Structure 1
Amino acid sequence: MKNKIGIWAPLRYANVGDDMQAIAFAKHIQKMGYEVKLFQLDDELARLYKLESAPTVDALCKDVNLVVIAGGALLTPFKWYKRILNKAAREYEADFKDLFLKSKKYPNVKFCAISMGGDGKVKKPETWYSHWRIDFFRSHPFVDGTVRLAGDVEQMKLAFGKNFVYHADMLFRTPDYFEPKMLPPTDKIRICLQFKKGRYLDKQLLADIYEYAEKHDDMEFHFITTHMPKIGLTYQYMPEKPSKNIFLDAYENPNQLLGVLASCDLTMTSMLHVGLMGLTMNTPFVSYRGPGKTKSFLKSIGGDWAILPEKISFEELRHQVLTKKKEELFGRYNLKAIHEMIEDSLSQYRFCTEVVEKLG
């Protein structure tokens, strides 16, 4: 009987990127013949994917030799005042305190982060991370793993003394682990929209989308979020109600959200993972007021054209990308670069296999 493997990610936020990474690794490890349990996996997802959920880090660690840390933006930098004043940042750093203390309580357990994310830049850890995060990353139980941005290799080495390796994001292999639930067929152009509130969203652009959806019948606009509504995180925009060509497709489970992305002709997003998941479904994406890492990724696949101007009007947007055929837009990328990333993404899973066989 093989040992059980623990999988940790910040799953209490029911974020599609974290959920998919944890569930994909769980499925991969199960195929190897191991049982798995996932830290705070949502009950509905646990039932849907037939997985065990561990409510606490203590429950996760108490009968395993290995905890795989399933990707996640574990290198996300927070300034000291944000770690005090921002609730999400406080909770995030508290997770590292919990992990560090449990590594002391269970000294035989190893922790391995695979496809871990940062911003690709080297930062002084004392400025950007709590001492709990620093202590955990520098600890002996936290073993060498992998990152999904090449620049983070140096960050792990210089800041924490760990020899991580780079491979393309594990989510490039999304179709291997999830079956998209497609939307009903339509002759209309379908646009998937993921917007952040506040300064990330042009109110005039939004108003023009609503006006077009009301006056014309050739486009559907599908608004998505990446967190389940019951979590109560409201930083992403969602219309108050649907209409003839306005659809509300908040995240329910990976199969559902992937189905929306796969059914659309284009994704307009400020989040890299949303765009990346769309790409795995052969749906092109454009970056709307996205961060530097999204722009860097698009440039790496020949997608300079897909980085939208911050002040783009709806008419410009419609003529430049919304009315173009899906295949035409996808063909504008460097398809060879995308294929190479999809192939390299397999190395994340091969690394997982090696770690589980060695330490599990």
Structure 2
Amino acid sequence: MKKVAIWAPLRYANYGDDLQAIIMAKYIKSLGYQVKLFQLEASLAKQYNMESVATVDALCMDINLCIIAGGGLLTPYSFPKRILQKTVREYEQDFKDLFIAAKKYDVKFCAISIGGDGKERIPCKYYSQHRIKFFRSSYFINGTVRLFGDVQQMKKFEKDFIYYPDMLFRISDYCEYDKLEMVSKYRIGINFKKGRHLDYKLLDSIYEYAENHNDIEFHFTTTHMQKIGLNYQYIPEYEYKNIKIDKYESPKQLLGVLASMDVFITSMLHLGLTGLALGTPFISYRGPGKAKSFLKSIGGHWAIVDDHISFKELKEQFFCKNRIDLYNQYDTTIIAKMVDESLKHYQFCKLILEKHS
């Protein structure tokens, strides 16, 4: 049986990367291939019955093809970030290691449903020389992107990528999840970043409402496993009346939380998109351009809120409506089309496997 590798920056035990890599691994295994993943967290490797290896050399030593799944491969980083931030330095070093292993073992790398923010940038200003060298090499072959604007960005590396809507629209085909126990209360999922991204006035209003009313539960979530130590997302110190904490443990667990909410408010596109794929509407709050662009593409202008919106305004505009009514405010025809077209990422991957594995 042929073996295929999957690379993503899984050392950070991040929901979006874990989810995409695991879904891709399950799909490839369903086609009859053996699969190994790079640094998949031990409990997830056991839960999903996946082989995980610790080094790029071990990943590449006995394969012909490695699929790149997740990791925001086109995420731009300024020069100071590439020097000063440990996680960014590690990420850029990965591309040096990938190029060395590709050359040593003659391995092809194909990126599936990867992305940045859809904007064109001059590579030398936002990517390390290692990333640029790897992208422009013959070992890195044409693949697919999840944002249309990234097609042009890949041309700057002399690659012809194809756009299809995000592969995670198909999560229901590959991921099981268990919803939270049903309650009669309205449930709001929340993912806030700390620091300058956090509106303490809004936060105080949430706590005040939770204390004085009993019709809404507020679920604060994170997207990294706690043991990793990337604590840039806000959660309360402890649970109490109508305030719940749902720390990321596994894709199955967090998908269950997302599917149980009436609405989800977040700055993170992958939380919002995967919730949407499960029928949970999401509101973009202090989100990046890619989250806003996505919502606009599905008729979700109404779900992009002002950075200084109050809890009262949120309740009047959104929290008084059930999840079905909110969801139907999007252009559901466009969403259905995106779900169908996202299947093409998998079909493209199948062709690459047949040609290069």
Global fold match (TM > 0.5)? yes
Q: Partner letter of residue 47 of structure 2?
A: L
SS at 2:68's partner residue? strand
Superposed counterparts of 1:199-218, under 5 Å = 199-218=196-215
Q: CA deviation at 1:304?
A: 0.4
Select the residue among 269, 273, 277 that pairs with 2:274.
Answer: 277
SS at 2:233's partner residue? coil
Contact in 2 for aligned 1:79/1:128 (Cα 8 Å): yes
Contact in 1 for aligned 2:113/2:164 (Cα 8 Å): yes
Structure 2 residue 300 is the aligned partner of structure 1 residue 300: no
Superposed counterparts of 1:170-185, under 5 Å = 170-185=167-182
Q: CA deviation at 1:302?
A: 0.4
**What corresponds to 2:131 in structure 1?**
133
Identity level (%) = 60
Superposed counterparts of 1:128-167, under 5 Å = 128-157=126-155, 159-167=156-164
Structure 2 residue 206 is the aligned partner of structure 1 residue 232: no
SS at 1:191's partner residue? strand
Q: Distance in 2 between matches of 1:14 and 1:33?
A: 27
SS at 1:290's partner residue? coil
Select the residue among 176, 183, 188 that pairs with 2:185.
Answer: 188
Q: CA deviation at 1:334?
A: 0.2
Q: CA deviation at 1:71?
A: 2.8
- How many residue pairs match? The answer is 357
Superposed counterparts of 1:24-63, under 5 Å = 24-63=23-62
Superposed counterparts of 1:302-317, under 5 Å = 302-317=299-314
Contact in 2 for aligned 1:11/1:39 (Cα 8 Å): yes
**What corresponds to 1:114 in structure 2?**
112
**What corresponds to 1:16 in structure 2?**
15
Q: Distance in 2 between matches of 1:355 and 1:57?
A: 21
Q: CA deviation at 1:121?
A: 1.1
Q: CA deviation at 1:323?
A: 1.7
Q: Distance in 1 between matches of 2:55 and 2:61?
A: 10
Q: Partner letter of residue 288 of structure 1?
A: Y
Superposed counterparts of 1:76-91, under 5 Å = 76-91=75-90
Q: Distance in 2 between matches of 1:92 and 1:239?
A: 30
**What corresponds to 1:102 in structure 2?**
101
Q: CA deviation at 1:70?
A: 0.6
Q: CA deviation at 1:92?
A: 1.1
Find runs of 4+ consecutive structure 1 residues off by over 6 angstroms.
none
Q: Distance in 2 between matches of 1:240 and 1:136?
A: 43
What's the CA shift string for 1:94-132, capped at 9, x where partnerless?
A: 11111111112112x100000011111111101111100
Under a length normalisation based on structure 2, what TM-score does the superposition of the two structures give? 0.99
SS at 2:21's partner residue? helix
Q: Distance in 2 between matches of 1:327 and 1:247?
A: 23
Q: Distance in 1 between matches of 2:316 and 2:117?
A: 33
Under a length normalisation based on structure 1, what TM-score does the superposition of the two structures give? 0.98
Q: Distance in 1 between matches of 2:99 and 2:79?
A: 19
Superposed CA RMSD in Å reads 0.7
Contact in 2 for aligned 1:13/1:231 (Cα 8 Å): yes
Q: Distance in 1 between matches of 2:57 and 2:4?
A: 14
Contact in 1 for aligned 2:16/2:70 (Cα 8 Å): no
Q: Distance in 1 between matches of 2:280 and 2:31?
A: 31
Q: Distance in 2 between matches of 1:204 and 1:181?
A: 34
Q: Distance in 2 between matches of 1:246 and 1:81?
A: 38
Contact in 1 for aligned 2:35/2:51 (Cα 8 Å): yes
Give 5+ residue unaligned stretches, structure 2: none
What's the CA shift string for 1:243-275, capped at 9, x where partnerless?
A: 121111011001110000100100000000000
**What corresponds to 1:341 in structure 2?**
338
SS at 1:195's partner residue? strand
Q: Partner letter of residue 145 of structure 1?
A: G
What's the CA shift string for 1:12-37, capped at 9, x where partnerless?
A: 00111100111111000111110100
Q: CA deviation at 1:194?
A: 0.4
What's the CA shift string for 1:159-218, capped at 9, x where partnerless?
A: 110011000101000111111211001000000000111121100000110111111100
SS at 1:173's partner residue? helix
Structure 2 residue 313 is the aligned partner of structure 1 residue 329: no
Contact in 2 for aligned 1:72/1:115 (Cα 8 Å): no
Q: Partner letter of residue 112 of structure 1?
A: C
Q: Partner letter of residue 313 of structure 2?
A: E
Contact in 2 for aligned 1:227/1:251 (Cα 8 Å): yes
Q: Partner letter of residue 27 of structure 2?
A: H
Q: Distance in 2 between matches of 1:239 and 1:64?
A: 45
Structure 2 residue 265 is the aligned partner of structure 1 residue 268: yes
Q: Distance in 2 between matches of 1:214 and 1:101?
A: 57
Give 5+ residue unaligned stretches, structure 1: none
Q: CA deviation at 1:72?
A: 2.4
Q: Partner letter of residue 20 of structure 2?
A: Q
SS at 1:46's partner residue? helix
**What corresponds to 2:194 in structure 1?**
197
Q: Partner letter of residue 240 of structure 1?
A: E
Q: Distance in 1 between matches of 2:173 and 2:334?
A: 19
SS at 2:193's partner residue? coil
